[in-house]
Amino acid sequence: MNDTACIRRPSVARSYFLRAAAIVAAAAVLALPATLRADPPEGRWTLVFQDEFNADGDGLDKHWHFQNGPSGHILCSRWRENVVAKDGLCRILNRKEDRGGQQWTSGSMWTKRQFKYGYFEARYRFAAATGLNNSFWIMTVAPSKPTASGSATASGSTADSGQFPHPKEMPEQSGRFEIDICEGHWPDKIHMNIHNWSGKHWSKPKTYRAEGKDLGRDFHVYGLLWNVDELVWFFEGREIRREPNTICHGEAPVWFSSAVMKWAGEVTDKIDGTAMEVDYVRVYQRETPEK
């Protein structure tokens, strides 16, 4: 028998069903959420740094410094052991344990490489508990000092204790600033800020609420466009804030950190065992460098 004779033509009803399914599938492709895209704003850009967190174990140490010690301005000490990369995620673990003279532990990390201007983007989700500040940010640092473990403490800290000071406690230095891309408070608050840490401190905070979203359940994309003239914040590829850039004109590393603090809501035992999880971080700079 001819093989072609075994091929059955679909019924009319089946044909309509297949056509409808194809239309639905095509619409789904067109409606892909912004979390699946990682494009910088319009213009010609070069990807200059990325970490997809595919290197397990000590692979993180190639690109990152870590806090190792207590934190005077928050309720947790922060340690290298609380930052774990596995299966393409970087997890900053929050634990209820006495260490460094504090009752909680968490983690803080910043890139060994420093950047000046560009588009900065991370996909992450908050730890699902109140009392936690889930942060993606940029801040200038004084030259770091290595510890015996190979991690680093900021200049102005005590190397033997590994204590990490609040920026107000660091040595006076011109040009110091902080840009908070997202200080996330579960379930739906995105806090953005600009800090001047040179001379008299001032800040310019603003909060965006992602109504109807649980930012600790799903991953979301947070971005910042930083150039000579302005700072522009993005959530899921959509602009949520724009400010003139009056002070942020030096090199600085990218930071991820979690902090137990009352500003982020009620501090309870529900924090224990939670984690802020980062899928990726990417830094783009324009092909024609900004001055």
pLDDT in tens, 164-223: 556 656 656 679 999 999 999 999 999 999 999 998 999 999 999 999 999 999 999 999
Mean pLDDT, range 135-144, rounded to an integer? 86
Can you give the pLDDT at residue 43? Answer: 84
- pLDDT tens, 230-247? 999 999 999 999 999 999
Q: Percent of the chain, pLDDT > 70?
A: 76
What is the secondary structure of 73-124 as a DSSP string? TSSEEE-GGGEEEETTEEEEE-EEEEETTEEEEE-EEEESS-B-SEEEEEEE
**Token code pair at residue 260:** 């137990």
Q: Give the start-to-end residue ranges of the domains of the chain.
A: 40-286
d(CA 184, CA 181): 9
pLDDT reading at 4 higher than 80 = no
Architecture of the 40-286 domain: Sandwich (2.60)
How many CB atoms neighbour CB 156 within 10 A? Answer: 18
Confidence band for 58, pLDDT divided at 50, 70 and 90: confident
